Structure 1
């Protein structure tokens, strides 16, 4: 199921979008402000964001720039800014689509599905072999190397590592990691996650796994400084 975050302060429009898009294959999470959007991003793994540009607590374009520092999740701008300059700006910043208000809800649904199909097709073509610094991590053959040396990882460590690598650059909350790797966040000891992450860091000799205070962890994609 695709998880879509809708950041829109117009309640009537938001409700209309939810009624049109939500179904067996799409779940819609709602936010009225940029801050609520940030909170949702810190807790959820998303497939698409529908982003209004004029929001009560800030500018959607600026938030998009902030978002791109931590995630490559597709974004469709929804906005009353219909000047050519604004449309060009949104697309050149890296937006996946730009829809001006007023718009047809059915057209929005079709364009959202198009973006989701494109993302799915790109994902299907990805290999399960990852390279990072001197690491070669092959999840198909279950062969993990640091330089020429073999690295032995437990199944739990493999699941956690692959989750980080598939979502490189995206902050993953503690709850998301526990749910995806251990199946629950409710009955797992508080120390399990940090201890497993420490083992991964030690075995791989990498500084890529960064702690994000109060939220969770991220696999840093920026080149490390010498």
Structure 2
């Protein structure tokens, strides 16, 4: 089932969209926190976003640009504004399509289905991001974003962090980490693993993520 994040502050319209798309086996997720839509996006990791333009705090253009910084997930703008300037702005901010209110649910569904077929026919966006303690790991390009700051990770750093983030709250043994890195054709000794983890920690601290990775003596590492 494809997850659709609905960024619409009109609750009645939002509920109508959720109900309409559910009949086609889409899971509609309504944004609750309009102050930090990027956090909700990262939390739910949707397959497609329906984005209103007129929103509390920041408009849909702003949030689309923020999403584009970490993901290529399809975005459909939904708005009562129909000027050419708005449509051009939507495209420039990374939007994939534009639907003007009032709209036909059949038209919205047709556009959603077309974008989803195009985006996921080869599965290129599946599982694209992982969110953990406010940090967002983009599995497509190996970058990490936190509080608007980005860092690039080496292949080994990415493998280590991805493994720990996917196992949040669990201890991951050093042996398991080394096996993952071995499978990627990079031999890692005990000492080399320690060096990689320390370098990763240093990069994380540079963007404000101190103590994200915790060492469990004689056991391994974890993200609590």
Once the two structures are superposed, residues 153-186 of structure 1 have per-residue CA deviations (whole angstroms, 9 ceiling, x without a partner) of xxxxxxxxxx9634755769xxxx789955xx6x
Say if 1:8 and 1:33, in contact at 8 Å, map to a contact too.
Answer: no
TM-score by length of 2: 0.60
Q: Which residue of 2 aligns with 1:192?
A: 172
- 3-state SS of 1:107 partner: helix
Q: Which residue of 2 aligns with 1:35?
A: 35
The secondary structure found in structure 1 opposite 2:12 is helix
Partner of 1:55: helix, strand, or coil?
coil
Task: Decide whether the 8 Å contact of 2:2 with 2:27 is kept in 1.
Answer: yes
Q: CA deviation at 1:39?
A: 2.7
Alignment of 1:36-185 (within 5 A): 36-123=36-123, 165-166=139-140, 168-169=142-143, 181=166
Instruction: Report the count of equivalent residues.
Output: 171
Whole-angstrom CA distance in 1 between matches of 2:163 and 2:196: 23
Q: Is the 8 A contact 2:65 2:94 kept in 1?
A: no
- Spell out structure 1 runs of 4+ moving beyond 4 A: 166-172, 177-182, 193-214
Instruction: For 1:64 and 1:16, locate their aligned partners in 2 and report how far apart those are by CA, in whole Å.
Output: 22
- Distance, in Å, in 2 between the alignment partners of 1:123 and 1:66 is 23
CA 1:88/1:25 → structure 2, altered by over 3 Å: closer, same or farther? same
Q: Which whole-Å CA distance do the structure 2 matches of 1:170 and 1:112 have between them?
A: 28
In the TM superposition, what is the alpha-carbon distance from 1:192 to its structure 2 partner?
Answer: 3.2
Q: 1:60 to 1:13 in 2, by over 3 A?
A: same
Secondary structure of 1:72's counterpart equals: coil
Deviations 1:127-177 (A, max 9, x none): xxxxxxxxxxxxxxxxxxxxxxxxxxxxxxxxxxxx9634755769xxxx7
Structure 2 unaligned blocks of 5 or more:
127-136, 147-161, 182-187, 214-224
- Contact 1:9 / 1:33 at 8 angstroms: preserved in 2? no
Q: Which residue of 2 aligns with 1:8?
A: 8
Of residues 195-204 and 13-22 in structure 1, the stretch that sits farther from structure 2 once superposed is 195-204
Distance 1:116 1:103 in 2: 20
**CA offset at residue 47 of structure 1?**
0.7
RMSD: 4.2
Is the 1:53–1:60 contact (alpha carbons within 8 Å) kept by the matching residues of 2? yes
Structure 1, unpaired ranges of 5+: 127-162, 218-226
CA contact (8 A) 2:8 2:52 kept: yes
- Cα deviation, residue 101, structure 1: 0.9
C-alpha distance 35-178 of structure 1, shift in aligned 2 (>3 A): farther
C-alpha distance in structure 2 between counterparts of 1:100 and 1:74, whole Å: 17
**Distance in 2 between the 1:60 and 1:125 partners?**
22
TM-score with structure 1 setting the length: 0.59
